[in-house]
């Protein structure tokens, strides 16, 4: 059952509706737009989207974690604990950081 109501819209919004809706289809267009907005923007819909995304992407997260473990393990196997990393000296090196170059 449909009910007639009066709605005040900005002219720009009305022009957009008229540009996108077929002649005589304003009400149907607005109804579909509101239903779509409610379905995609409500808290419940957002929770559902987050849940679906987490389920869909869990394999990706596990794969990335495995890749990083492999990289970390490989790096630690090649690290020689007797060797100290070279220290930066103040005399020869010049800083290129943004903070030190701004004047």
The pLDDT tens digits for 54-69 are 888 888 878 888 888 8
pLDDT of residue 28: 96
Alpha-carbon distance 52 to 32, whole Å?
A: 24
Q: Is 24 left (phi over 0), alpha (psi -120 to 50) or beta?
A: left
Where exactly are the structural domains of the chain?
9-39, 42-74
Rg (CA), the chain: 30
Q: To the nearest whole percent, how much of the chain has pLDDT over 70?
A: 71
pLDDT, residue 81, reads 55
Is the model's pLDDT at 46 over the cut of 80?
A: yes
Residue 82, φ and ψ in degrees, nearest 5: -75, -25
């Amino acid at each position: 059952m449909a009910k007639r109501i009066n709605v005040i819209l900005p002219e720009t919004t009305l022009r957009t509706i008229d540009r996108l809706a077929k002649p005589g289809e304003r009400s149907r267009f607005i109804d579909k737009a509101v239903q779509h907005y409610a379905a995609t923007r409500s808290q419940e819909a957002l929770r559902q989207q987050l849940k679906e995304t987490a389920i869909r992407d869990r394999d990706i997260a596990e794969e990335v974690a495995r890749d990083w473990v492999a990289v970390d393990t490989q790096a630690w196997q090649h690290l020689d604990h007797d060797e100290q990393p070279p220290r930066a000296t103040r005399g020869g090196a010049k800083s290129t950081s943004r903070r030190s170059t701004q004047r």
